[in-house]
Amino acid sequence: MILAIDIGNTNIVIGCIDAKQTYFVERISTNLNQTALEYAITFKNILELYHINPRGLEGAIVSSVVPPISNTVRLSVEKIIGKPCLLVGPGLKTGLNIVMDNPATVGSDLVVTAVAGIKEYKAPFLVIDMGTATTITCVDKNHNYIGGAIMPGVRVSLESLAQRASQLHNISLESPRHAIGKNTIECMRSGIVLGSASMLDGMIDRFADELGEEPTVIATGGLSKIIIPHCRHTIIIDDGLLLKGLWIIYSKNQQC
């Protein structure tokens, strides 16, 4: 069993996983001001909640899209498990063929979910990751990472709307009862939730047109459970996709 951590702009996903199963998935807030010791205490407390001895873990791996704290988190993990922690990036084997103008610019989280998708699902496939940004990753039938799309995240859109429209305020993200809202809050929920779902449906259609066939579609990320049920396409929600990808990359880099 290893400790797998993905550092996002808003949340850090943490979990334990091995070849057989994912033991837990938790999220904490990303905090650029925390020290390695503070992160170490948080991670240790989470492991203790699940009765997991940090020193009994085989190893750890971290992926990150927040460079300022990547090394801080890596050091915090090494502090509690007493073993080296891998960091997804240059020099680490992923087995993914990235067909992009500049492969080095592809986010490590997108690489990790694509690696997991190749192992778990039929290609071609799309991975929709709904976090601070909503991203769509496309892997073709030959298992090449060929590109994708990046859009404002659901909460980012909602917060921007509330900040820039003086008569609108932040609301909780809940499923609207109808597409046609009868008051301001219902109208906003319809626009944010159903509008986001409709956008994803439309993007899936466009990706399918360019691929020349219908792809398998997988969704992950903290907001996927709110938006995806309203999509008209068949979309598989896999909340553990990132951790599965981190396990695969960790395993690839243990082979002699």
Which residues have a catalytic role annotated? 109
Angle at CA of residue 75, ends 69 and 78, nearest 5°: 145
Is 160 annotated as contributing to ligand binding? Answer: no
Measured between its terminal Cα atoms, the distance across the chain in Å is 19
Is 221 annotated as contributing to ligand binding? Answer: no
Is 7 annotated as contributing to ligand binding? Answer: yes
- Closest by CA to 95, choosing from 75, 80, 117, is 117
**Got the DSSP string for 199-224?**
HHHHHHHHHHHHHTSPPEEEEESTTH
Is 180 annotated as contributing to ligand binding? Answer: no
Is 29 annotated as contributing to ligand binding? Answer: no
Residue 143: which region, alpha, beta or left (left: phi > 0; alpha: psi -120 to 50)? left
Is 15 annotated as contributing to ligand binding? Answer: no
Is 205 annotated as contributing to ligand binding? Answer: no
Residue 138: which region, alpha, beta or left (left: phi > 0; alpha: psi -120 to 50)? beta
Is 109 annotated as contributing to ligand binding? Answer: yes
CA pair distance 117, 164, nearest whole angstrom? 38
Beta strands in the chain (DSSP E): 2-7, 11-17, 22-29, 59-64, 85-87, 97-98, 125-130, 133-139, 144-152, 216-220, 236-237
Is 108 annotated as contributing to ligand binding? Answer: yes
Is 91 annotated as contributing to ligand binding? Answer: no
Is 129 annotated as contributing to ligand binding? Answer: yes
Output the known binding site for K(+): 129
Residues placed in the known binding site for ATP: 6-13, 132
Binding site for substrate, by residue number, is 107-110, 184
* Annotation: binding site: 6-13, 107-110, 129, 132, 184
